[in-house]
Amino acid sequence: MDGRATPSVPDRFDGNKLAQAFYGAFAMSLDQGQINGIGESKVVEEALFIGGVVQDAVRSHSINPASIEAEIRKILLPRLFNLLGGLDAANTVIEQVVAIVRAGETRLNT
């Protein structure tokens, strides 16, 4: 057993627990029809992209958590707005991403 808490998460993350968590943010924020409409591969790609955005924001603003969150929101909002087709859906996913970061994203990489 690979220890994943969510069996619906694809196996294509190569142990990147942070990106897996961000995939889960999509799963928690969108219904299965929306995820199917976007496509699993695209959601995986977005989860990996979000992982990079978060890592960059933490590196750039490690002293100020509010700046980390602001940077994440600034980069993700236009991208997710276009992907998901609206502000509400984009903000719902972003709130899940920020909650994951607040919970301690560094624990996910251990």
Residues 25-77 have pLDDT tens digits of 999 999 888 989 999 999 999 999 999 999 999 999 888 999 999 999 999 99
Q: Tokens at residue 73, please?
A: 């929101």
Looking at residue 2, its pLDDT comes to 46
Instruction: Compute the distance between CA of residue 104 and CA of residue 88 in angstroms, rounded to an integer.
Output: 25
Looking at residue 14, its pLDDT comes to 82
Instruction: Compute the distance between CA of residue 21 and CA of residue 6 in angstroms, rounded to an integer.
Output: 9
Looking at residue 5, its pLDDT comes to 53
